[in-house]
Chains A and B, each alone.
Chain A
Amino acid sequence: MHIPDGFIGPGASAIAGVGAAGGFAVAVRQAKTYLTDRLVPLAALSAAFVFAAQMVNFPVLPGMSGHLIGGVLAAVLVGPSAGYLIMAIVLGVQALVFADGGLSALGLNIINLGGIAAVGGYWLYRVMLRFSNRSPRSVVFVSGLAAAISVPLAAAGFAVEFALAGTTTSVSLTSVLWALIGTHVLIGIGEGIITAAVIGAVVRSRPDLVYGAPTYTGQRTEDLVA
């Protein structure tokens, strides 16, 4: 469930759109420099996984469910720029074909889930990894922790946007927004567990492919043949 049209004022939506597009251009340039051809299917699979996972709701409390954001998962697997691109592609296709999230709010959604959750969560992961022993086990744990924190962060991003430029002037929604962030702490726990499980499975079987892990090699297909 993403921000629909008309929730945030047009001015702020436009600024967010320009910002998200600028981020997109930077991410494309950076991703081209390191996304070797072997990483393209991995990036695409991460995108498909994020897309599919956003359709699967997992239980949080009785009667309440949440779905994966997948930002940190994608960024740790294929790097922050490609992670941002993945979130932008997923959100774009969802808004265009699945009518999930407003077209005019696409910039806001990309900033929250691509900018804050994926890129912000990735840097959180890098900083926390520096304080660990950098073993595969801590890669898994730290990525899960960063993913868990990234969810309420993204919700807080929405809360700030809504407080600054929400079209709603009648009600002070402060309490509602705190409740929103609170439930996202719970959803974040699920996100952290699933992210850790997936990163764990990939690190165990293909440590050379995980961009955020110290074992990453950055090989191209040609290196395999040679």
Chain B
Amino acid sequence: MADGHVHALYLHGNSVLHRVAPQIKIVAAFLIVIGIVVTPREAFWAFGLYLVAIVALATVAHITPRFAARRMVIEVPFLLVALLLPILGGGSTVEVFGLSLSQAGLWDAWNILAKATLGLSIAVILGATTQMPELLVGLDGLKMPSIVTAIAGFMVRYIDVILSDWSRMRIAMASRAHGARWITQIGPMARTLGVMFVRTYERGERVYLAMRSRGYTGSMPASAIPAAPVSQWMLGGAVIAAVWAVAALAVLTR
């Protein structure tokens, strides 16, 4: 079960970033993004440094520009909103390529573009170097309550079952002329979803009862989580400290 369930965002590899303990990567990703978000938008140099650091991290993880670009498509709707701001904005305007654009709008657009893109790249790097089971180990390592890791663990194992069940049922629907293109087809689609839910639940319940009868009491026995080595914490800490130092400097010199 471990290998067949690799999600689309994961990049096979054996780089340093792939090997760092997942709990360190989770903590680092959060703290780095916080550093980026508090940076004042006037500090272009700080965003330049973040970009350099992110490109360096991505290179270490063997992430190609193509892979990164495919992952970043998710941001497009927000980029479109951001691009509208200089056109819709009021206040003083500047000429750019013959277009009269709002100055405040340009600042707003830049702020969203820079922070959302950098934050997204951090998440892309995390996703590319961390498999979902590892992420669960990381959450366990961060002392998440067992009820949360139990739900998250089952969830991760069910997702692929649900998605493949769903695509099978959608093929069955399409071959019976229910292509799900138009809102009138939401009825059959909704009923299919309902049936799928019960079907998957009953399968999951069978598996769960089988696990119970073999001694499962709520947590996986062999998940002896190796404590993250101090050297890795120091490495992660150094990256976080560098980002926060840049952010602090940018805030102080604004």
Q: List residues of A whose CB falls within 8 A of some B CB.
A: 1, 4-7, 10, 13, 28, 31-32, 35, 37-38, 40-45, 47-49, 51-53, 55-56, 58-62, 82, 85-86, 89-90, 93, 95-100, 102-104, 167-171, 190, 193-194, 196-202, 205-206, 221
The count of chain B contact residues (Cβ–Cβ below 8 Å) is: 84
Min CB gap A192→B, angstroms:
10
The complex places the Cα of A169 from the Cα of B169 at a distance, in Å, of 47
Interface centre among A40, A53, A201, A202 (most CB of B within 10 A): A201
Are the CB atoms of A59 and B91 closer together than 8 Å?
no
Q: Does B221 have its Cβ within 8 Å of any Cβ on chain A?
A: no
Contacting residues of chain B (173-205) with chain A, CB-CB under 8 angstroms: 180-183, 185-187, 189-191, 193-195, 197-198, 200-201, 204-205
For A56, give the chain B residue with the smallest CB separation: B166
For B181, give the chain A residue with the smallest CB separation: A59
For B127, give the chain A residue with the smallest CB separation: A97
Are the CB atoms of A51 and B36 closer together than 8 Å?
no
Are the CB atoms of B116 and A4 closer together than 8 Å?
yes
- Residues of A near B189 (CB, < 8 A) are 58, 194
Q: List residues of B whose CB falls within 8 A of some A CB.
A: 7, 9, 26, 29-30, 33-34, 36-38, 71-72, 74-75, 77-78, 85-86, 88-91, 102, 104-105, 107-108, 111-112, 114-116, 118-120, 122-124, 126-127, 130, 132, 135, 145, 147-148, 150-159, 161-163, 166, 180-183, 185-187, 189-191, 193-195, 197-198, 200-201, 204-205, 207-209, 212, 218
Are the CB atoms of A6 and B112 closer together than 8 Å?
yes
Are the CB atoms of B75 and A4 closer together than 8 Å?
yes
For B154, give the chain A residue with the smallest CB separation: A44
The complex places the Cα of A199 from the Cα of B251 at a distance, in Å, of 51
Q: Which of A28, A41, A96 contacts B26 (CB 8 A)?
A: A96
For A60, give the chain B residue with the smallest CB separation: B183
Assuming A97-B9, A193-B187, is B180 touching A104 (CB within 8 A)?
A: no
Give me 26 A-to-B residue pairs in the complex whose CB atoms sit less than 8 angstroms apart, sorted by A's number.
Answer: A1-B74, A4-B112, A6-B115, A28-B147, A37-B212, A41-B205, A45-B158, A48-B156, A59-B181, A93-B132, A93-B155, A96-B123, A96-B130, A97-B9, A97-B130, A99-B72, A99-B127, A100-B74, A102-B37, A102-B119, A170-B86, A196-B190, A197-B194, A201-B191, A202-B198, A221-B209
Q: Which of B122, B151, B180, B193 contacts A198 (CB 8 A)?
A: B193
For B184, give the chain A residue with the smallest CB separation: A59
- Residues of A near B155 (CB, < 8 A) are 44-45, 47-48, 51, 89-90, 93
Are the CB atoms of A98 and B127 closer together than 8 Å?
yes
Are the CB atoms of A97 and B7 closer together than 8 Å?
yes
The complex places the Cα of A202 from the Cα of B120 at a distance, in Å, of 37
